[in-house]
Structure 1
Amino acid sequence: MLHFKYILLLLPIIIFVQARKLPACKSSVLICYGKLNPVDISNYDYVILEADLYTKKDIELIKKNNKKVLCYISLGEVNQHASYFEDLKGMVETRNHIWNSYDLNLNYKKTRNVLSKVIKNRLLKGFDGLFLDNIDSYTVYGNQYKNSSYLVAYLELLRKKYPSIHIMQNAGLPLLDNTSKYINSLAVESVASNYDFSKKEYRLRRISDFMRQKKAIQRIEKQYQKEIIVIEYANTEALYKEIKSRLKSTNWNCYVAKIDLQKQSIFSKN
C-alpha cells in the first residue's frame, strides 16, 4: 500500500516532466512589410523585410542582432505601388483585387531582366538572401501555371548567380520536385489558421483540414529535407494560443501576425 501511494505521488511529477519535453513550435521569425526601427529587431533566426524601406546601414545593424535577414520579392505578382511597377507596364495582367497587384509573366525576357536588377540592388544592401513570394501562382491554383518552367529556369539562374545566398520559397508546394534544389527553406501560410478575405474574418481551420495539411507538410519536410517556416494569422490572444497549441507537436519555426504584415506582431516571441 505504501508503494502504491508513493507511485501516485510521483505520477503528476512524471507527467509534468514529460509534458515539458514535448516539442513546441518555435517563434523566432519576424516578417514585416512596413517600416520598423532597426534597433527594435533582435534575436530572430529569420527577419524578412521590404528592402525599399531600409538603408544599407539599417541592414548592417539588423544583421548584427539576428541570424539571417532576407528581403521580400514576389516572383508571381507585382503591386502597383512597387518602385519597379512602371518598368513592367505592358507585361502584367489579371489584377488581384485583394492586394491590388498584377500577375507577372516570367516568360517575358524584360520581366526577368527587371526582376534581376531589383534583386541585385536589394542584395547590395547586405541582405543574406531572398524571400520568394507568390510561387503558388505557378501551380494549378494560380494564373501562371502554364509558365512554371519559366519560374524554375529563373530560380536556376538566381542560384547560379548567387550560390551562397539563402533562398526561402513561400508556398508552391506542388513545384518542389523542380524547385527544391535551388532553395534553402520553405515557408507555408495558414496551416492552422484560415483567414476569410471575403468576410475579413480571422479563424481556425477545421481540424480535419489542419491534420491533412500538417501530415502533408511533414511528408514534404522529410522528403526534401528543408526547414519549414509556418506563417499564421490571428488578431486576438485567444486565437494565437489556439494556433500555437495546434502546432506544438511540430518543430516548425512559426510567425503569427495580422494579415497585412505591416507591423511587428503583438504576439512576436511569445
Structure 2
Amino acid sequence: MRHIRLFFLVFPSIIGFGMANNNVVQSDIFFCYGKLNPLDVKGYSYVVIESKNYTIPDVKKFKKLNGKVLAYISLGEVNSQAKHYNSLKNNTIGKNENWDSYYLDLKASGTSQILFTIIDQILADGYDGLFLDNIDNFCSFGFQKDQKEEVLQFMADLDARYPNHTFIQNAGLELLEKTFRLVDAIVVESVATDFTFDDNVYKLRSQAEYDKYIRQLQQIRRKYKLPVILVEYADTRALYDQIIRRIDRTGFLYFIGSIDLQGIPKFSE
C-alpha cells in the first residue's frame, strides 16, 4: 500500500490572479507535453511534463516554482516521436492512428524491463513521480484488454520499486479496484466536454451523459478516497466558461487546455 496521498499546495501570490492573457483562473495542476520555458510555469501544485524536452537543470527550475513535478509516460503505447521509441518499436502490436503511436505488448519478453530502464532514467533526473497514461487500453473495450494482468503486475512492481514517488493514473476506471492502493490520484479526460477526432470539434458533452459520468466519479471518490482530476478540452473562451460552470460545483480538481496539450492554455474570444 502506498504511504503518500496527493495533496495540494497553496501559492497565494499566484493562484487566483489568472493566467497569461486569457484572464482564466489558474488550476492546481498543469499538463504540457510540448517544450516550454520552465520559468513560465509558476504556482502549480503539480506539473506534468514530457521528460524528453527538459534537462536536469530545467526540472530543478520547475520544482523551485511549483510543487511536485511529474514526468509523462505511457504504459500502453509508444509514440513514434518518443525518445525511447527505438527501444520499444519491436515490442508493439498495432498502431493508434489518432496519435501516431503504437500499442505496447506487455506480454512480449523484455517489454517491462525496457520500460523500467526508461523509468529509472527519467526519475534519476529529479522528477517526483510519473503520470501513467493509457491505462484504459487494458480495460474491457481497450486494444490491450487481454493484457490486464500484465499492466497490474507492472504497476505493483513500480510501486514496490519507488514507494516514495507519486503516481497519477490516467483513466482505466474499471481497474481501480486493483490499482487504487498503487496510485495517488486518478485523471479522467473529457467529462464535461466531448472532443471528436473525426472533425476536430470541441464541444460540451450532453447534459445527461455528463450527469451520469459525474455521479460515477463521485462514487469512485467516496469508495477509494482518491482525488479525482478532470482534464477538459476547449478552444474558445465561451466553451471554457461553460466548462467552468459545470465542473466548479463538483469539487473535483481540474485542468482545461487544448487537445494536444502542447503549451500554456489560450482560448480565442
**TM-score by structure 2 length?**
0.88
Cα deviations by residue, 1:63-116 (Å, 9 ceiling, x for unpaired): 111111100000011111111111123210221111011111112231111110
1:86 aligns with 2:93: no
Which one-letter code corresponds to 2:212 in the other structure?
A: R
User: Mapping of 1:31-70 within 5 angstroms?
Assistant: 31-70=31-70
1:206 aligns with 2:211: no
Q: Which residue does the alignment assign to 2:180?
A: 180
After the TM superposition, list the runs of 4 or more consecutive aligned residues in structure 1 that deviate by more than 6 angstroms: none
RMSD: 1.2
Alpha carbons 1:32, 1:264 under 8 Å: kept: yes
User: Mapping of 1:109-124 within 5 angstroms?
Assistant: 109-124=109-124
Gaps of 5+ in 1: 1-24
Structure with a larger share of its residues in helix: 1
Which range moves more in the overlay, 59-68 or 226-235?
Answer: 59-68
Distance in 1 between the 2:252 and 2:126 partners?
27
Distance in 2 between the 1:117 and 1:109 partners?
14
Q: Which residue does the alignment assign to 1:158?
A: 158
Cα deviations by residue, 1:119-155 (Å, 9 ceiling, x for unpaired): 1111011111000000000001211111100001000
Which one-letter code corresponds to 2:55 in the other structure?
A: T
User: Mapping of 1:2-13 within 5 angstroms?
Assistant: none
Task: Name the SS for the 1:249 alignment partner.
Answer: helix
Task: Report the count of equivalent residues.
Answer: 243
Task: Name the SS for the 1:181 alignment partner.
Answer: coil
Please identify the structure whose Cα radius of gyration is greater.
1
Task: Name the SS for the 2:34 alignment partner.
Answer: coil
Q: Which residue does the alignment assign to 1:255?
A: 255
Which range moves more in the overlay, 107-116 or 175-184?
Answer: 107-116
Cα deviations by residue, 1:189-211 (Å, 9 ceiling, x for unpaired): 00000001101100000000000
User: Mapping of 1:124-139 within 5 angstroms?
Assistant: 124-139=124-139
Task: Name the SS for the 1:167 alignment partner.
Answer: strand
Shift of 1:27: 1.5
Alpha carbons 1:26, 1:252 under 8 Å: kept: no
Task: Name the SS for the 1:226 alignment partner.
Answer: coil
**TM-score by structure 1 length?**
0.88
Higher RCO (CA 8 Å, separation ≥ 6 residues): 1
1:107 aligns with 2:107: yes
1:95 aligns with 2:98: no
Distance in 1 between the 2:256 and 2:173 partners?
20
Which one-letter code corresponds to 1:28 in the other structure?
A: D
Distance in 1 between the 2:246 and 2:192 partners?
7
Which range moves more in the overlay, 117-126 or 83-92?
Answer: 83-92
Q: Which residue does the alignment assign to 2:245?
A: 245
Which one-letter code corresponds to 2:196 in the other structure?
A: D
Cα deviations by residue, 1:219-254 (Å, 9 ceiling, x for unpaired): 001100111111000000000000010001122111
Gaps of 5+ in 2: 1-24
Task: Name the SS for the 1:90 alignment partner.
Answer: helix
Distance in 1 between the 2:127 and 2:116 partners?
15
Which one-letter code corresponds to 1:134 in the other structure?
A: N
